[in-house]
Structure 1
Amino acid sequence: MESEYYIGIMSGTSLDGVDAVLVDFGDNHRASCIETFFSPFDNTLRSRLLALHHSGEDELNKAALISNQLSHQYARAVTHLLIDSALAPRNVIAIGCHGQTVRHCPEIDQRYTIQLVNAALLAELTEITVIADFRSRDLAAGGQGAPLVPAFHKAMFMDSNSRRIIMNIGGIANLTYLDAKKPVSGFDCGPGNLLMDAWCLQHTGQSYDKNGQWAATGQVIPALLERFLSADFFTCAPPKSTGRDLFNFKWLEGHLQGNESPEDVQATLMQLTITSITHSIKQLYPAVEAVYVCGGGAHNLQMMNHLKNALSDMKVAVTDELGVQADWVEACAFAWLARQAILKQPGNIPSVTGAKEERILGAIYSA
């Protein structure tokens, strides 16, 4: 069948870098991942992005300059994909670029979201049509603007014979429940890796806890876990979404008494992620048969083992078994969302985000 190429670009809450994928939708309109590329953020850019999560001096100028810097890094990732696949810009229909979230405030009295990218510049640099700003239209329609990936999960992973959950553990953990007999549902469960990564960097100098090995040397502090779980977010009913606006280092430090050992805090942060995920699944989807994990958390062997033990009556695996490698699911989702925009098809699911109706998502910057 004739190829139908799109590129998806995702840089998430974890702030580790840029995931870029070349996707072909020519096989019965299903996403086939052709090439992938990862471009890490350097420490300076990561620090500047973290600073923009809070009000500060000259932040509008800083945000504009970082948007340009990010767009150049996105464009370099696109160039790598094209070289590796021996394609020219004219062969790609569009790029779906999520941009870098620095604010996400879906509350009724605020309702705005900011993802940094200069989409016009990215279109100029790549000579490919760019679709960006996917979240704003859903917010304008009364939704949370997130999570958006459940629509892609439905298109890719729905199975008429099983009830399954797609569990993304990135900086934030979010799930999608797929049952062919029911509307799709999904929401953010709480922090995924972002608090663990921040604590690990602070105390070990490493950007993440490989395989959860450091957390495994500590013990969960029950009282601390209870304080973490007392946040109103965990008792709110879906639809709901969150990010660094709530779950940040200041929030973490505000729950500490100061005499905890660092490795015990790390173990407790891992347990926070595990508990918020497993409680969500058991309370809302007790009949689910399988949980498929994607995102960086899929590589945390300690956390995966804990999830398997806590969800022992369900199959727990990674999305690789469903045909999309765990590292690339979200980037593929934004290639799919770009295609939806080009085809003038909805990209949101109101039962997930809370929007009043389906909406076509994204602003188009033609090449």
Structure 2
Amino acid sequence: MKQPAYIGVMSGTSMDGIDAVLASFDAERVQVHACHTITYPDSVRHRLQRVSQNIGTPDEVGSLDHEIGVLFASAAKGVLAKADDRPIEVLAIGSHGQTVRHQPRGQSPFSLQLGDPNIIAEQTLITTVADFRRRDMAAGGEGAPLVPAFHKAYFGSTEQDRCILNIGGIANITSLMHSPDQPIQGFDTGPGNALMDAWCQHQTGKCFDENGQWAAEGCVNQALLSDMLSDAYFAHKGPKSTGKEKFNLNWIKTVANRHPAVCPTDIQRTLLELTVVSIARQLPHSAGMKIFACGGGVRNGMLMQELRKACSPISVCSTEELGLDPQWVEATAFAWLAKQTLERRPGNLPAATGAKGERILGAIYLP
């Protein structure tokens, strides 16, 4: 008998490409069969960045929706090809899509992901589940973060307080206390890599600061850092979520213009410190807690070094210690969310999103 499996395809706020994972799930364990990554062409990334800043026409949004759908289908087929010799049966693809605008508050809240799931289902001939965020928002939630429910299912412990820290374009945390009397919390802490990437690209033309090498050449400007941390978002308690519609290059320029003497390298170093401090200040306080990090930020050596200093004596390691490579956690979570949808089980965690209750998430597109 073939083992049931699911594909998760995910592209985060860094807008650098698509991660695809083929995974199976039982009550206690995740088994990853194969992984695959597609890097966005520069032209696609540039257009996505424009649309995320409200620069673009309906034609551009529509064409990107189609193109991203084709790329997501290609990523799903790519990961399936890597596991072609395994006795597995793929039941569904869970597609996060590419978020280009996330506005969870206000009179008419919404969240917009591109990557037409009709195309994914058509080109892969596999049932596709997509549009996960909007059902949670319809129930009064922020539609994000959605991964805490997956974290709870597979990373929780009855013996140890744990915090799962995802550092993508935006950083989010999930606190998993060992005592059932303590509620699970999850929310976006603020910028992860987004501001560092935006400033690096603006100043150097490079998409990101590899290993934090450019930031290491600068110094933290305390006045600039304090000004950045005065943003009201950091003072809000969870549930809360954010994205590049707030933390972007214009945000950096607005704050930096109030400190004209600070050089570009010192701004980059201060942005790294902003990510570190905003995470450290919002972590739950638990003497025996251990932090397990995942996401692209784990590959930034300087960021992780400074994060460990800021969080001491709390230990910071990666989700590798929990059996899941930090690069693939989010894509695996959306494979699991597709499973939850097909089984008519909830996929949100109201304590993290603020929804009125648990909801079955996503829309199903049959092949």
CA 1:288–1:266 in structure 2 vs 1: closer, same or farther (change >3 Å)? farther
**Aligned partner of 1:39: which letter?**
I
> Is 1:333 the counterpart of 2:337 in the alignment?
no
C-alpha displacement of 1:183 = 2.2
2:4 paired residue number: 4
Q: Is the 8 A contact 1:31 1:336 kept in 2?
A: no
Name the structure 2 match of 1:48: 47
CA contact (8 A) 1:89 1:127 kept: no
What corresponds to 1:94 in structure 2?
A: 92
Deviations 1:253-273 (A, max 9, x none): 001133321110010000000
Task: Give TM-score, length-normalised by structure 1.
Answer: 0.96
- Partner amino acid, structure 2, of 1:207: C
State the partner residue of 1:346: 346
Aligned residue number for residue 204 of structure 2: 204
Alignment of 1:98-177 (within 5 A): 98-177=96-175
Q: 3-state SS of the aligned residue for 1:347?
A: coil
Using the TM superposition, give the Cα deviation of residue 303 of structure 1 relative to its aligned residue in structure 2, in angstroms.
1.1
**Aligned residue for 1:262?**
264
CA distance in 2, matches of 1:333, 1:81: 16
Task: Tell me the equivalent position of 2:34.
Answer: 35
The whole-number CA distance in structure 2 between the counterparts of 1:312 and 1:167 is: 15
1:88 and 1:35 map into 2 onto residues whose CA distance is 10
Cα distance between partner residues in 2 of 1:37 and 1:318: 20
Distance change >3 Å, CA 106–CA 310, structure 1 → 2:
same
The 2-side partners of 1:47 and 1:216 are apart by 27
Distance in 1 between the 2:356 and 2:222 partners?
A: 40
Q: CA deviation at 1:89?
A: 12
Given candidates 58, 66, 69, the residue that maps to 1:68 is 66
- Cα distance, 1:205 vs structure 2: 2.1
Counterparts in 2 of 1:5-24, with a 5 A limit? 5-24=5-24
Unaligned runs of 5+ in 1: none
- Identical amino acids, percent of aligned pairs: 46
Q: Distance in 2 between matches of 1:88 and 1:315?
A: 37
Distance between the aligned counterparts of 1:166 and 1:82, measured in 2? 28
RMSD: 1.6
Q: Is the 8 A contact 1:89 1:126 kept in 2?
A: no
Distance 1:86 1:152, change over 3 A: same
1:286, distance to aligned residue in structure 2 (A): 3.7
Aligned to 1:82: 80
Q: 2: CA distance between counterparts of 1:341 and 1:364?
A: 8
**Aligned residue for 2:277?**
275
Partner AA of 1:42 in structure 2:
P
Question: Structure 2: any 5+ residue segments left out of the alignment?
Answer: none
Q: Report SS of the residue matched to 1:15.
A: coil
Q: Write out the 4+ residue segments of structure 1 that deviate beyond 4 Å after TM superposition.
A: 87-90
Say whether residues 1:317 and 2:317 are aligned partners: yes
User: What secondary structure, in the 3-state scheme, does the structure 2 residue paired with 1:168 have?
Assistant: strand
Tell me, in whole angstroms, the C-alpha distance in 2 between the residues paired with 1:337 and 1:185: 19
Tell me how far 1:109 sits from its aligned partner: 1.8
Please tell me whether the aligned partners of residues 135 and 143 of structure 2 are also in contact (alpha carbons under 8 angstroms). Answer: yes
Contact 2:2–2:88 (CA under 8 A) maintained in structure 1: no
Matches within 5 A, 1:230-309: 230-257=230-257, 258-281=260-283, 284-309=284-309
- Measure how far apart 1:2 and its partner are: 5.5
The verdict on how the C-alpha distance between 1:89 and 1:253 changes in structure 2, with shifts beyond 3 A counting, is farther
1:91 Cα offset (Å)? 2.3
Cα distance in 2 for partners of 1:169, 1:63 equals 27
Report SS of the residue matched to 2:358: coil
Structure 1: how far apart are the matches of 2:320 and 2:167?
Answer: 14
CA contact (8 A) 1:90 1:128 kept: no
1:67-123 deviation per Cα after TM superposition (whole angstroms, max 9, x unaligned):
111111111112211211116999210000000001101114231100012111110
State the one-letter code of the partner of 2:84.
A
Aligned partners of 1:193 and 1:249: how far apart in 2? Answer: 12
Q: Identify the range of structure 1 (78-87 vs 235-244) with the bigger mean alpha-carbon deviation.
A: 78-87
Contact 1:82/1:88 (CA < 8 Å) preserved in 2?
Answer: no
Deviation at 1:56, TM superposition (A): 3.8
Amino acid across the alignment from 2:121:
A
TM-score by length of 2: 0.96
Deviation at 1:201, TM superposition (A): 1.4
